[in-house]
Amino acid sequence: MQKIYLDHSATTPIDPEVRKKIHPYMTEIFGNASSLHSFGQDAIKGVDWAREQLATLFGSKFKEVIFTSGATESNNLALRGLLMAFRYAKKENWDKKFHIITSKIEHPAILEVCQSLVKEGLAEVTYVNVDKKGIVIVDEIKTAIKDNTILISIMYVNNEIGTIQPIRKIGEMIGKENLKRSPKSEVRSPNSIFNKIYFHTDAVQAVNYLPMKADYLKADLITISGHKIYGPKGVGALYIKEGTPIKSIIFGGHQEYNIRPGTYNVAGIVGLGAAVDLVNNQSSSISAKGGSASGGNNQIGKLRDKLIDGLTKKIPDTQINGDMEKRVPGNANISFLGAEGESMLLMLDMEGIAVSTGSACASGSLEPSHVLRAMGMPPEDCHASIRFTLGKYTTAKEIDRVIAVLPKIVERLRKMSPLKRKR
């Protein structure tokens, strides 16, 4: 049976060039990168090389790149680490609640951190709305800002529906708000870093498709992950703009400028660097305005459109979820009204076709997608959704097979369903 993988937003296969780069660090270059002898120095050269690739990606300084175990840790470090820096800046802050703004469609690695900080009595959080197409409402962010607001965290690309959020616009708005907070005479004051709003974006789903320069995005903190960009699992990074206050949230070593201790995952870090190097090599074809993609991404977009056109023509009562213009090319989130998503997933899997019903990280949950609910969709339509995410190895032949197989599955499930279709 032909196996077809259409779940690239969950994870990507490792690129052969990345695998080739990793191999020596899994065999002969095995030293601890913190050791002073030659074995350690050979290993740290790989870490330094990888950091250079990420600094190029972000347009940043070498020391502004911090390696982590993945996006979840990076997001925790960004939110909790910044909050703790503010909290311990002076004694009177110990009992103070700081304010964080985020959106209702963030990944659980953001939402659950915020919920934890609230439960611990350390923060108050405002969750801003999105419109019916899944785009964050910038005016709501501006309105939500208060005197004790220290951080705004908005994802670059949504993992479920692929919508591109107006990150640069949000960053520019925050910059204007910060000018109001800090008169020019106070900008160079040692305490000025604690008199501004910082901006974080979870850019995990954006790296393959969109501009990542920190200055362009106007971001102070940026999260990325290796396994979403054809690199290894278990490694990620956090860009931290110089001057951004961050406290370590784990302890036990001096690595990563005393921000993220722990023995270096050298092979993983090199693999992340190699995956980013591939992105950097194609970045010249990505518009600085975020509008055009590389040739490979154009091909992915054409295949995605072929999938949508084929399914919507063959299957009545379908609904495309999310903005089709402000969207990365690999994502198609479709509700097949009257058919149950989990059943569609399992029946497609029996045909050798891998898809998702939403976020892979929440695939064990029977709750309707929090992203689709935030867009105003009723629960029954949320449960009828399938997320198809294409990658650079996806072929037209594979798309043709999905278009041939899925209509029969949907028809069968609709006949079995006790619910009457609304459309």
Of 273, 256, 175, 259, give the one whose Cα is nearest residue 215.
Answer: 175
pTM: 0.94
Note whether 270 and 197 are same-domain residues. yes
- Residue 184's pLDDT band, with cuts at 50, 70 and 90, is low
Average per-residue pLDDT for the chain: 92
Characterize the bridge pairing of strands 318-320 and 353-354: unpaired
| Residue 422 belongs to a domain | no
In-domain check, residue 382: yes
Q: Which ranges constitute the DSSP H helices of 242-369?
A: 266-282, 295-314, 341-350
Check whether residue 140 and residue 162 sit in a common domain.
yes
Dihedral sign for Cα atoms in the order 359, 108, 52, 232: negative
Q: What is the pLDDT of residues 262-305, one digit of tens each?
A: 999 999 999 999 999 999 998 755 444 344 445 678 999 999 99
Any domain includes 29: yes
Total tally of structural domains belonging to the chain:
2
What's the CA gap between 392 and 370, in Å, rounded? 28
Mean pLDDT, range 138-153, rounded to an integer: 97
In a domain, 140, yes or no: yes
- Predicted confidence at residue 296, as pLDDT, reads 77
pLDDT of residue 95: 85
| Domain match, 143 and 250 both | yes
Determine the 3-state secondary structure of 261 from DSSP.
Answer: coil
Banded pLDDT at 234 (limits 50, 70, 90): very high
Instruction: Identify the band that residue 405 occupies on the pLDDT scale cut at 50, 70 and 90.
Output: very high
Do 344 and 296 lie in a common domain? yes
Domain that holds residue 60: 16-285
Tens of pLDDT, residues 305-314: 999 999 999 9
Question: Do 217 and 353 reside in the same domain of the chain?
Answer: no
Last residue of a domain, one of 270, 285, 300: 285
User: What is the DSSP secondary-structure string of 101-162?
Assistant: EEETT--HHHHHHHHHHHHTTSEEEEEE-B-TTS-B-HHHHHHH--TTEEEEE--SB-TTT-
**361 in active site:** yes
SS3 state at 239: strand
Q: Report whether pLDDT(11) > 90.
A: yes
Residues in contact with 422: Cβ distance below 8 Å, sequence separation at least 6, in sequence order:
337
CA atoms within 13 A on the CB side of 24: 10
- Given pLDDT bands bounded at 50, 70 and 90, which one contains residue 190? low
CA distances from 296 to 212, 286, 349, 390 (A): 18, 11, 27, 11
Residues 50 and 184 grouped into a single domain: yes
What's the helix, strand, coil split of the chain in %, to 5? 45, 15, 40
pLDDT of residue 192: 81
Between 171 and 419, name the one with better pLDDT.
Answer: 171
pLDDT at 189: 54
Residue 323 has pLDDT above 50, yes or no: yes
Rounded mean pLDDT of 200-223? 98
139 and 261 together in one domain: yes
Residue-wise pLDDT tens digits, 53-81: 999 999 999 999 999 999 999 999 999 99
Which residue among 118, 122, 324, 361 is the active-site one? Answer: 361
Q: Kindly state whether residue 423 falls inside one of the protein's structural domains.
A: no
CATH code at 369?
Answer: 3.90.1150.10
Task: Spell out the residues 6+ positions from residue 276 whose beta carbon is closer than 8 angstroms to its own.
Answer: 50, 53, 54, 56, 57, 207, 224, 229, 231
Structure tokens at 113: 């951190």
Higher pLDDT among residues 157 and 284, named by residue? 157
Least confidently predicted of 49-53, 73-77, 115-119, 177-181: 177-181
Q: Give the CA count within 13 Å in the CB-facing half-sphere of 4.
A: 26
d(CA 116, CA 104): 16
Q: Give 211's DSSP letter.
A: -
Let me know: does 358 contact 160? Beta carbons within 8 Å. Answer: yes
Per-residue pLDDT, 187: 46
